[in-house]
Each structure stands twice: as C-alpha cells, then as structure tokens.
Amino acid sequence: MDRRIKKNQSAIMNALMQLIAEKEFEKITINDIAERADVNRGTVYSHYADKYDLLDKCIEAQLAHLMECCYSPETTGPFPSKITLLRTVKEIENNAPLFQSLLSIKDVSSFRVHLSKMIHMQIVEQMNEHKISLDDLGKSIFAQFMSSAIVGVIEWWFTPSMTCSAEELTERLWSILEVNWMTLLSPQA
C-alpha cells in the first residue's frame, strides 16, 4: 500500500482516538479530526464516508491491535491462559479513557457489539480446537453467554468507582471462566 495512504490513515485514526478520549463523540467534527491529524479535510473524506465509518474502522483496528498485542505468537499454548488474560486486562486498563469512551458511544453500532463479537468468535474457535461434545447451536449459545458476560464485566469495571485492580479483576474473572470451561470439557456436562 502506498506510503501516503498508510501514514494518513494512521494519523487520522490516531486523531480520532485522541479526541474520543477527550470529548464526547457527537461533539467531534471532521474539522477537529483533520486538524489534529494535520491533514486536509478532504483527505479524511477520501478514506472514510463519514465520522461513523471512521469510528467503525477505528474500533476494528483497536480490537485488532488488542488481539495482536495480547495473543501474539509467544502465547504459551493454544489455550488462553491466566497470564494472557491478565495481559489483556492490563492493556485495557492502560487505555482506560479510550475504552471507556468507546463503550459509552450509543448511537453507533456500538463498540460493545464489536467487542462481544470478537470474543464470541474467539470462544467458538477455542471450542472447535478442543473437541467439545456440543452441537453448533449449543456452541453458539455458550459463546454468546460467555462473551456477553465478559463484556458486561469489563463495562462494570469502568463504572464510576473502578475500585478493582487489574490483578484482582483477572483473578476473580479467571476463577469463573475456569469453572465454565472445565464443565464444558468434561463430557457429562
């Protein structure tokens, strides 16, 4: 891909990320974005249909990045470990204001949906790798159950009193996940 495209797209996306962490999405104008990205306004339109399209691409990229940096090659084993979970939670913590803002955007096919879908997919994938005695419907329901739950916990984590440390959250969450996964693996489930 052309250097200019790559650079400008990343500049534009970063600009929106920054702005989102600063003020309400609806208050952000294309001008703000172009200005922050140090790019002509027309350039924004040449890559994205509008604010919402850009937001979508940003969310996708952000989630891809999250996956990349948390589930990268050196993940020990095919199985999501506690350490991986901690790494993920910490990464979310590090970008707390951004994630919080993304989660609070309503008008758009929301970040929560994207996040949930991604987790859903991950879970289905995991289930397919380990032979689970469950039909497709069962897998889908289980995945939906788990992904909703996890996203819910993350959302809760960001509510006013984010009293819980990343380590503590990981600990508690892991113990719940472990139970679910184990009962799933045992054939008599």
Which phi and psi angles does 30 have, rounded to 5°? -60, -35
> Could you give the angle at the alpha carbon of 165 between the alpha carbons of 164 and 166, nearest 5°?
120
- Under the criterion CB under 8 A, does residue 50 sit at the interface with its own copies? no
Residue in 43, 75, 84, 104 binding DNA, rule: CB under 7 A: 43
Residue in 31, 40, 72, 109 binding its own copies, rule: CB under 8 A: 40
Interaction pattern, residues 13-42, with DNA; x per rule: CB under 7 A: ----------------xxx------xxxxx
Whether residue 75 contacts residue 81, with contact meaning beta carbons closer than 8 Å, is answered with yes
Pick the closer one to its own copies by CB: 39 or 115.
39
45, interface contact from its own copies, DNA, none, CB < 5-8 Å by kind: DNA
Which phi and psi angles does 159 have, rounded to 5°? -65, 155
Residue in 23, 24, 35, 50 binding DNA, rule: CB under 7 A: 50
- Under the criterion CB under 8 A, does residue 38 sit at the interface with its own copies? yes
- Under the criterion CB under 8 A, does residue 7 sit at the interface with its own copies? yes
- Under the criterion CB under 8 A, does residue 31 sit at the interface with its own copies? no
Minimum Å gap between C-beta 16 and its own copies is 18
Per-position DSSP letters for 134-163, written without gaps between them: --HHHHHHHHHHHHHHHHHHHHHHTSS---
Alpha helix segments (H runs only) across 95-135: 96-104, 111-129
CA-based nearest residue to 101, from 1, 26, 176, 180: 26
The DSSP output letter for 27 is G
Pick the closer one to DNA by CB: 30 or 66.
30
- Under the criterion CB under 7 A, does residue 2 sit at the interface with DNA? yes
CA-based nearest residue to 146, from 132, 160, 162, 167: 132
107, interface contact from DNA, its own copies, none, CB < 5-8 Å by kind: none
Place of tokens 């294309």: 30
Pick the closer one to DNA by CB: 8 or 62.
8
Report helix, strand or coil for 108: coil
Site residues, DNA (CB under 7 A): 2-5, 8, 29-31, 38-43, 45-47, 49-51
Site residues, its own copies (CB under 8 A): 3, 7, 38-40
